[in-house]
Chains A and B, each alone.
Chain A
Amino acid sequence: MAISAYLTALDDEQLVALLRRRPDLATPSPVTLASLAVRATSRSSLERALASVDAAVLQAIEAVVALAPEGPPSRERVVTAVAGTGTSSDTGTGTGYGTTSGAGTSPTPDAAGADAAADPGQDAAVVARALDAAIGLALVWPDDDGLHAAPGLAEILGPYPAGLAPAGEHDEPGADAPTLPDDLPADSRAVLDALTWGPPVGLVPPPGSPAVPAVARLLDTGLLVRGGPRQVVLPRAVALALRQGRTHRAVAHPPAAAWPVRRPEAVAAESAGAAERAVRLVVRLVAAWGEQPPSALRSGGLGVRDLRWLAHVLDVDEEEAAFVVELAGAAALVADDGEERPSFAPTEDADAWLRRDLPGRWAHLAAAWLESERTPWLVGTRDERGSAHGALEPDLHRRWVPRVRGAVLDVLAAAPAGAAPALDDVLAVLRWRTPRNVPPAGAVTALLREAALLGVTGAGALAPAGRALLPATPAGPAGRTTAVSTAAPTGAGPAPTAAASTGAGRVLAAAALAASLPEPVDEVLLQGDLTGIVPGRPSERLAALLDRTAVVESRGGALTVRFTPESIRAALDAGATADELLADLTAVARGGVPQPLQYLVRDTGRRHGVLRAGVALSYLRTDDAALLAGLPDDPRLTGLGLRLLAPTVLVAAVPPGELVAALREHGLAPVLEGSDGLVVHAPTTTRRTRPRPRRDERPPDETARLTALVERLRRAESEHLGTARPGPAEPAGGTVAGGSQPAATLADDAQRTGRGAARPVGGALAAGVTDAVGAGRAAGATRPGGGVRAAGAATAGRHAGPATPTTADGTADPAAALLLLREAAAERGLVRVDVVGPRGVLERRLLRPVSVDGGRLRAVDPAREAELVVAVHRIAGVARVSREEARD
């Protein structure tokens, strides 16, 4: 019969039970029973089912698989194979040759478990129950001829189920069991011992090793066979003979719980204290982030610096701060605000949460924690790329967290009340519960720590409030304490969301916490050294008052605070008055408020608010108070926002310029002063634009102008041919040709604006300018702009600049020079030219100009018969030279 037939033969109730135990078979719904069978024997489904069984069930399954080569084993066979027969010769740890020390592949029974196996009847019952569980999961199915393992299970369990080699020739059903010779020497026996309980494969010893003869002997006698080029295998039949038919040394019992037990009051009190603290930290987090929401990183998490700052504000270490942040996040009290530049801020739910009482707030947090998939313990660790994980990062969640958390809490819940297992104990139990799916130790450690921080556990044991959070399972708490198989099906069950998420569940948890909390105390003992002590847990009202007005020094069963000038001042800053504070304190103080504290409050109140700060855009001050007296009330000046700060000082809400203007209109005569106290004249920002040439302006009399012009030209001509006169000074590196122009323009400007020479110019040119000014004025002072230039040039040329080298009929005047050069070029005459070299040194050259244009003089050097080009602006002076002179 195949497994599909078996499944089909199950009745409805059994099938439903199977589907409940292996939920993956039901979703998505299979179409036919055949497809159900297929799915049930698929590797992934089998693995999932195996991951949920405990160690004893696993043993039973392994036994079925291991015994399969002999034919489907009967129940009794499996039971004896795992648990032994209980006879004295069958110690369960021995081989045919006595006790061994070899290792086993089956989950190593706990040493305590081995001791507990002393009761063979109980062991057999355990195995029987385990078998039933395995059958219930359809991992093993019964047939007329025995028990079968589900197809595919053998592959998953590996090549050596229960440490036995695969079936060989001796393993056929009905084959004779191999005989073990009695006279085997010790070294061979040692080799056999090593391989008996598995793995059954060993390496051939290297030549020369003392084990060589032993192995050889065994190979000869057939007790070992070759498994590969360098391997030997202990045949299955031999192993079974050595084990005397056992597949496992002992039944895997759950680790015996000899855990320390705490007093219930201690557990309740510590859990209540932790719960209060956790709520307080979350409240403070919400307040801190309400005021200063930290920005989120690009990865979506909280930055390290923000976390560190938060740890400082909360006065906890960074690990705990990360937990508080994640807790608040899981409870939907803070979230990413989804803005363009995201930051974390409290949500609207936070306000509703804050309005609840302490037990209600805690229940909300605890319920959120119970279902949360977040992994706060990974905050600060690095991912594959090397960047650190930040709190509230989207990546920091794992789907298995609620299940592991449930398993851990299960372990605590199953223990007797007040039992406080150590971490290793919890891990051992978890390992027994799901040996093929052990939760990571790091996660278990972190979850236990979180449970303690939250107050779900107290002093290491599950607290009443924590217990109220957990759902009651179908098996019930009583069911848990019986070991093994009943635990198996539920161990992999759905995460414990059932009770906690319901409103009823939370109410229960809140009530349990409220019962654990000590009675609140509503009075404080105030002492002369400015300390105050609440001999117990302060009521909410009292706690708020003390938080506002004092610094907390010590927490615990009692609360001690100290009043300092700073703490009182902070209370006054928040808006209270000294009298109100004293009234509040008197109301709660047993024995009144000591005089030093009264005095401190009043004294701080006296000094509070004595200094005042405010905003003003401008001020008005005077030595004559009468001037200011009526101004603030004057209806005509209301728009200025005037306020009298002192008899001689008034401030306004408008800028100084406006204030002064308004007051001037009012008939007063204010002046502006700068920050140094000196009077500043308001810069009348008179604007200027560039002058446009005035085309439409014409001199009154055209003729007169032209006549005057001709006269000037004549005069200039005669002077030009007369005494040598210095040309205009050459501005360093500037153009000679254009040199006069700037001078003339400057002269114009100077004339017009009437200012002193404002623009800095090179020394010589400046001299030229001043002379030009003088010349310009002399020439025609009131002449409007425009045509002055030529005249200016001439006069400038006459008066300006230091001496420049010239010859008798030479000139340094640029215009004249050009003329000379052109004439010489036309006549093919010679000229003596003063050229300024590249280094500024004057060179005198004899040249025959060829042409002048474009700012360049093309000339021939007769001496060298070379043509050269000289830039006109480098020519300092030109003089005609007769041929006779040139020949000298």
Chain B
Amino acid sequence: MTDGPLIVQSDKTLLLEVDHPAAEEARRAIAPFAELERAPEHIHTYRLTPLGLWNARAAGHDAEQVVDTLLAYSRYPVPHALLVDVAETMGRYGRLQLLSDPAHGLVLHALDRAVLAEVLRSKRTAGLFGARIDETDVLVHPSERGHLKQVLVKLGWPAEDLAGYVDGEKHPIELAQDGWHLRPYQQQAIDGFFHGGSGVVVLPCGAGKTLVGAGAMARSSTTTLILVTNTVSARQWRDELLRRTSLTAEEIGEYSGSRKEIRPVTIATYQVLTVKRKGEYPHLELLDARDWGLIVYDEVHLLPAPVFRMTADLQARRRLGLTATLVREDGREDEVFSLIGPKRFDAPWKDIESQGYIAPAVCTEVRLTLPEHDRMSYAMADPDERYRLAATAAGKHTVVDRIVKQHPGEPTLVIGQYLDQLHALAEHLDAPLITGETTERERERLYAAFREGSVPTLVVSKVANFSIDLPEASVAVQVSGSFGSRQEEAQRLGRIMRPKGDGRTAHFYAIVARDTVDQDFAAHRQRFLAEQGYAYTIVDEEDLDGVA
């Protein structure tokens, strides 16, 4: 029993006291097998999950090392039952192996026949297997590789995937680090990814995930398929790649609604893959068009469900998922892990902030009281209508005004969900409005003006959620959002997190109507950020002037 920085709870959470001198050492020791769940200011919470322990096994750690680590850093005696459980869970890994047999193809090999029997008997594995070769081996349909791994995880008998990766067609790509360098954490992310083979990299907004993708591409130096959320993102990726790598314009193709170019590096949208005509997916051929060596999933938390199934074929190739916020309101994060791969890199946002790579940010929630008349309408409205009524309360205009006036000259974004509210705000503030309907040319023009400072304030709709290169702002004011979406909140915060030249703090304001569903949703939305250490200061509208 040491005076260690870690407290092991019997519900398999690990509490790491950040202020402890040995905290950093302990963190590095537990990172291979424990998942970071929350990172507020004093105590970070990690969790031991079967998936995490199995990934540790896959990476070469064994149960004894895990137990030793826990015992070494734990402040209080570790519950005996937990140690037994860890050993038992880790022992389940590797009894089944996925091998690439030269004669038969993809084969599931069992080191423990009883386990194989159990797995074959299960209903969930129906249709994934081919013929039984002998007592310990059974054929696996190659297209079901990812699906099978997922099912085996659910059954509690994870398979060690030794079937290797198809290298893919070689294509030279290099990072053109002229005048800039990869940051240490970006390098770590790339290394972590490559070491693991496939997986997800989680980095806060503004920390440069695109570069991590580019770096991975350079390391792999193969043909690459990049899947993004929309055409604007596709264009931004293209620009970034042109700027940062040795790739030329001819080598990068776009495969979207408007263009269908298949090149050594092809950027496609999720949407075009999921288009269905006459019961068929006409664009799935893209996946077989070239011998892709690397597949990058941008904003992988948005991966639509059908794409899960489809791109499971690509299991034989390296897959990199990039995101800032791996939380889904439908709780399907696990599917991402089991289909793309486990988290290969994750860093608390505050850590990256303290390293100076993202701007320090202060989050504030401004609560305004609805006037009497509005309160009455709200109280008598239908439940479906309530959020809209609260979110678009007229009183929010004055609050936005006051906030903007408190930050004179700073590039400010006003973000919202409802177009009429945004129109009214744009008029009220005398600022341009960008929505999905704004033409691309107009958008570029406004972005440029915003960047150079001639337009200090932009009012934007949901497009703000997705664009990679919405110009950097230092103040963001959110008047409404899509209900309780945590990752939307985090994405919007990300709009202002690129470090400023003068190192000044970025400000994020959420304006919320008191005692309404707006307030309830806001509490939910903020939870992810609060757990990352970005706790919201809550201020009443009347006290706004005190906040700087």
Compute how far the CA of A90 lies from the CA of B15 in the bound complex, rounded to whole angstroms.
64
Compute how far the CA of A608 lies from the CA of B38 in the bound complex, rounded to whole angstroms.
31
Chain B CB within 8 A of A660 CB = no
**Contact between chains at B43 and A533 (CB < 8 Å):** yes
**Among B75, B80, B531, contact of A529 (Cβ-Cβ < 8 Å):** B531
**Contact between chains at A535 and B17 (CB < 8 Å):** yes
Question: Which residues of A547-603 have CB atoms within 8 Å of chain B's CB atoms?
Answer: 554-558, 560, 591, 594-596, 599-600, 603
Chain B CB within 8 A of A266 CB = yes
Contact size class for A? Answer: 20 to 34
Chain A CB within 8 A of B463 CB = no
Chain A CB within 8 A of B527 CB = yes
Chain A CB within 8 A of B515 CB = yes
Take A529-B527, A530-B530, A607-B515 as given contacts and tell me if A560 and B15 are in contact as well, using a CB distance cutoff of 8 Å: yes
**Contact between chains at B42 and A527 (CB < 8 Å):** yes
**Contact between chains at B13 and A557 (CB < 8 Å):** no
Chain B CB within 8 A of A525 CB = yes
Nearest CB to that of A518 among chain B residues?
B76
In the complex, what's the smallest C-beta–C-beta distance from A744 to chain B, in angstroms? Answer: 64
Chain B CB within 8 A of A486 CB = no
Take A556-B7, A596-B530 as given contacts and tell me if A527 and B535 are in contact as well, using a CB distance cutoff of 8 Å: yes
**Contact between chains at B530 and A529 (CB < 8 Å):** yes
Nearest CB to that of B10 among chain A residues?
A556
Chain B CB within 8 A of A279 CB = no
Chain A CB within 8 A of B380 CB = no
Compute how far the CA of A270 lies from the CA of B83 in the bound complex, rounded to whole angstroms.
13
Chain A CB within 8 A of B538 CB = yes
In the complex, what's the smallest C-beta–C-beta distance from B539 to chain A, in angstroms? Answer: 8
Chain B CB within 8 A of A262 CB = yes
Q: Which residues of B contact A518 (CB under 8 A)?
A: 76
Compute how far the CA of A266 lies from the CA of B79 in the bound complex, rounded to whole angstroms.
7
Nearest CB to that of B74 among chain A residues?
A557
Q: Which residues of B contact A528 (CB under 8 A)?
A: 40-41, 530, 533-536
**Among B76, B530, B533, contact of A557 (Cβ-Cβ < 8 Å):** B76
B7, B77, B534 — which one has the most chain A CB atoms within 10 A of its CB? B77
Take A535-B15, A535-B75 as given contacts and tell me if A596 and B533 are in contact as well, using a CB distance cutoff of 8 Å: no
**Contact between chains at B9 and A555 (CB < 8 Å):** yes
A269, A529, A535, A594 — which one has the most chain B CB atoms within 10 A of its CB? A529
Q: Which residues of A contact B534 (CB under 8 A)?
A: 528
Chain B CB within 8 A of A302 CB = no
**Contact between chains at B527 and A558 (CB < 8 Å):** no
Take A530-B530, A594-B535, A595-B535 as given contacts and tell me if A554 and B11 are in contact as well, using a CB distance cutoff of 8 Å: yes
Compute how far the CA of A603 lies from the CA of B369 in the bound complex, rounded to whole angstroms.
12
In the complex, what's the smallest C-beta–C-beta distance from B3 to chain A, in angstroms? Answer: 11
Chain B CB within 8 A of A827 CB = no
Q: Which residues of A contact B536 (CB under 8 A)?
A: 528, 596
In the complex, what's the smallest C-beta–C-beta distance from B87 to chain A, in angstroms? Answer: 13
Compute how far the CA of A269 lies from the CA of B9 in the bound complex, rounded to whole angstroms.
13
Q: Which residues of A contact B79 (CB under 8 A)?
A: 270, 273, 556
Take A270-B77, A596-B537 as given contacts and tell me if A525 and B530 are in contact as well, using a CB distance cutoff of 8 Å: no
**Contact between chains at B80 and A270 (CB < 8 Å):** yes
Compute how far the CA of A205 lies from the CA of B432 in the bound complex, rounded to whole angstroms.
108
Chain A CB within 8 A of B289 CB = no
In the complex, what's the smallest C-beta–C-beta distance from B146 to chain A, in angstroms? Answer: 34
**Contact between chains at B42 and A557 (CB < 8 Å):** no
Nearest CB to that of B519 among chain A residues?
A603
Q: Which residues of A contact B7 (CB under 8 A)?
A: 535-536, 556-558
**Contact between chains at A529 and B535 (CB < 8 Å):** yes
In the complex, what's the smallest C-beta–C-beta distance from A854 to chain B, in angstroms? Answer: 77
Compute how far the CA of A265 lies from the CA of B77 in the bound complex, rounded to whole angstroms.
7
In the complex, what's the smallest C-beta–C-beta distance from A273 to chain B, in angstroms? Answer: 8
Chain A CB within 8 A of B376 CB = no
**Contact between chains at A529 and B515 (CB < 8 Å):** no
**Contact between chains at B8 and A557 (CB < 8 Å):** yes
Compute how far the CA of A266 lies from the CA of B8 in the bound complex, rounded to whole angstroms.
13
Q: Which residues of A contact B38 (CB under 8 A)?
A: 529, 531
Chain B CB within 8 A of A239 CB = no
**Contact between chains at A556 and B43 (CB < 8 Å):** no
Chain B CB within 8 A of A459 CB = yes
Q: 1/0 per residue B8-42: CB within 8 Å of A?
A: 11110101010000000000000000000010111
Compute how far the CA of A560 lies from the CA of B10 in the bound complex, rounded to whole angstroms.
12
**Contact between chains at A527 and B537 (CB < 8 Å):** no
**Contact between chains at A529 and B76 (CB < 8 Å):** no
**Contact between chains at B530 and A269 (CB < 8 Å):** no
Nearest CB to that of B43 among chain A residues?
A533
Q: 1/0 per residue A626-654: CB within 8 Å of B?
A: 00000000000000000000000000000
Nearest CB to that of A600 among chain B residues?
B538
**Contact between chains at A595 and B537 (CB < 8 Å):** yes
Question: Which residues of A248-303 have CB atoms within 8 Å of chain B's CB atoms?
Answer: 262-263, 265-266, 268-270, 273
Question: Which residues of A522-549 have CB atoms within 8 Å of chain B's CB atoms?
Answer: 525, 527-531, 533, 535-536
Chain A CB within 8 A of B1 CB = yes
Compute how far the CA of A595 lies from the CA of B537 in the bound complex, rounded to whole angstroms.
6
In the complex, what's the smallest C-beta–C-beta distance from B98 to chain A, in angstroms? Answer: 36
Take A270-B80, A535-B15 as given contacts and tell me if A557 and B535 are in contact as well, using a CB distance cutoff of 8 Å: no
In the complex, what's the smallest C-beta–C-beta distance from A674 to chain B, in angstroms? Answer: 26
Compute how far the CA of A788 lies from the CA of B22 in the bound complex, rounded to whole angstroms.
117
Question: Which residues of A173-227 have CB atoms within 8 Å of chain B's CB atoms?
Answer: none
In the complex, what's the smallest C-beta–C-beta distance from B18 to chain A, in angstroms? Answer: 10
In the complex, what's the smallest C-beta–C-beta distance from A261 to chain B, in angstroms? Answer: 12
Q: Which residues of A contact B537 (CB under 8 A)?
A: 595-596, 599
In the complex, what's the smallest C-beta–C-beta distance from B48 to chain A, in angstroms? Answer: 12
**Contact between chains at A269 and B11 (CB < 8 Å):** no
Take A557-B7, A558-B9, A596-B538 as given contacts and tell me if A533 and B76 are in contact as well, using a CB distance cutoff of 8 Å: no
Chain A CB within 8 A of B152 CB = no
Q: Which residues of B contact A603 (CB under 8 A)?
A: 538
Q: 1/0 per residue B526-547: CB within 8 Å of A?
A: 0100110111111000000000
Q: Which residues of A contact B77 (CB under 8 A)?
A: 263, 265-266, 268-270, 557
A273, A518, A554, A591 — which one has the most chain B CB atoms within 10 A of its CB? A554
Nearest CB to that of B84 among chain A residues?
A459
Q: 1/0 per residue A501-537: CB within 8 Å of B?
A: 0000000000000000010000001011111010110
**Among A269, A459, A527, A599, contact of B76 (Cβ-Cβ < 8 Å):** A269
Question: Which residues of B38-56 have CB atoms within 8 Å of chain A's CB atoms?
Answer: 38, 40-43, 45
In the complex, what's the smallest C-beta–C-beta distance from A453 to chain B, in angstroms? Answer: 13
Take A528-B533, A535-B75, A594-B535 as given contacts and tell me if A557 and B9 are in contact as well, using a CB distance cutoff of 8 Å: yes
B7, B13, B531 — which one has the most chain A CB atoms within 10 A of its CB? B7
**Contact between chains at B17 and A527 (CB < 8 Å):** no
In the complex, what's the smallest C-beta–C-beta distance from A528 to chain B, in angstroms? Answer: 2
Nearest CB to that of B78 among chain A residues?
A266
Q: Which residues of B contact A265 (CB under 8 A)?
A: 1, 77
Nearest CB to that of B529 among chain A residues?
A529
**Contact between chains at B40 and A557 (CB < 8 Å):** no
Compute how far the CA of A596 lies from the CA of B43 in the bound complex, rounded to whole angstroms.
17
**Contact between chains at A525 and B535 (CB < 8 Å):** no
**Contact between chains at A554 and B9 (CB < 8 Å):** yes
Nearest CB to that of A559 among chain B residues?
B9
Compute how far the CA of A535 lies from the CA of B23 in the bound complex, rounded to whole angstroms.
14
**Contact between chains at A536 and B76 (CB < 8 Å):** yes
Q: Which residues of A contact B78 (CB under 8 A)?
A: 266
**Among B8, B11, B15, B527, contact of A533 (Cβ-Cβ < 8 Å):** B15
Inter-chain pairs besides A265-B1, A533-B43, A595-B537, 7 sampled, C-beta below 8 Å: A269-B77, A270-B79, A527-B43, A533-B15, A555-B11, A599-B537, A599-B538
21 interchain pairs (CB within 8 A)?
Answer: A262-B80, A263-B77, A266-B77, A268-B77, A269-B77, A270-B80, A528-B534, A529-B527, A530-B530, A535-B15, A535-B17, A536-B76, A555-B11, A556-B9, A556-B79, A557-B7, A560-B15, A594-B535, A595-B535, A596-B538, A607-B515
Task: Give me the 6 closest cross-chain CB pairs, A-B, nearest first.
Answer: A528-B535, A556-B9, A557-B76, A529-B530, A269-B77, A527-B40
Interface residues of B (CB under 8 A from A): 1, 7-11, 13, 15, 17, 38, 40-43, 45, 74-80, 515, 527, 530-531, 533-538
